[in-house]
Structure 1
Amino acid sequence: MAPKVLMVAEKPSIALSIASALAGGRMSSRKSSTDVHEFDGTFMGFDVHYKVTSVIGHVFSLDFPPSYQNWEVTDPMDLFQAPVLKSESNPKAHIRRHLSQEARGCGYLVLWLDCDREGENICFEVIECTGIPETECGVRIFRARFSSVTEKDILNALSNPVKPNKDEALAVDARQEIDLKVGVAFTRFQTRYFQGKYGNLDSRVIS
């Protein structure tokens, strides 16, 4: 049986473009949380079975634990030292479960996320969801670098894969945590401050 390669794009339309360029019109598609396109081809010089699917932007988002959600008992200043939790951005889409299911039996993962820091961060979200590991004897996780979804660029990206950039992904983690803590702390501070001074405010939240 040919090895299976799971390829994940940032959105369904990109996944379809990638599959169409690589399959030459010979693929089957099925509905799931996001569409999955399957076809046979070659990868790294050997015959494989491809599965191409996608996420819908970030898989995870940051928030504070429940113990910090109560505005009345939590000082906004405490939020700067508070822990943060990652949870699924869109639980109803079941993207995490979708990626885990599609990764079963796959020996390789090729990441087709946008070529910026946000895309790099989503790469590692996808890696976490699939559970496909890198082995000591060889790389099983690849990053496709592409500037457009033309057939030429897609073929070139698949022929010249790189490793996902952990440093860029961590930079986004840091930025997300700063955005959360600064945004929520100041929103709570402003809201409570102005509600205390002006009882007739027509807004419950001042962001």
Structure 2
Amino acid sequence: MSPAAVGLQQLPHHEEHRQAEITVVQFSDEAVDKIITRYREMLRPADERVGEELRGWLMVLATLTASITYAAALNPPGGAWQADDAANHFVAGYPVLRDKSPWRYFVFYYCNATSFAASLCIIVLLAVTKLFTETKIMVFSVLVALDMVGLAAAFVAGSSSSKWFTAFNAALMICLVVLFLFWKRRCLMVGTCCLKSFKQLVRS
């Protein structure tokens, strides 16, 4: 018999009872629940966890954009006429920008409305979507792109007071879009290379 087994046999009865109490305390109901919850979280599919994170980010983005575009529609850049002016054909409550710069107003209006509609579509689709498939992710990607492009174009049209400011804001937005597309393409290329390397490693 090993020395460890002899030592265990020689433990007094109260020492054994004490060891049992320590074991019970260490594995109380609360501790067991925490362990079970942790392992359940670890065993959850990765796609499900990613889907929940994506749902949260999309909901925040759509809610924020919908709030911004809704407020901008009710209070357009430049405000509204406070009184009628028959001589200049100004009507109280109508946007000042529409009479001062019609093309800027219409660009702002349609882009802002497009962004608002895309945000509402994202919120509604998130409410009825439980699982994210490749097709649904593609739909959400298109809606998010439409949402952001509309918001950026509305900002350019509404905040530019001259042609130079309009050109500068438009160039800035185009540069940001190009950088994003370049980064997205680079990520796809890296992901494809990693996938090919992994497949070659598995086959070898």
**TM-score, normalization: structure 1?**
0.31
Higher RCO (CA < 8 A, seq sep 6+): 1
Larger relative helix fraction: 2
- Between structure 1 and structure 2, the one with the greater Rg is 2
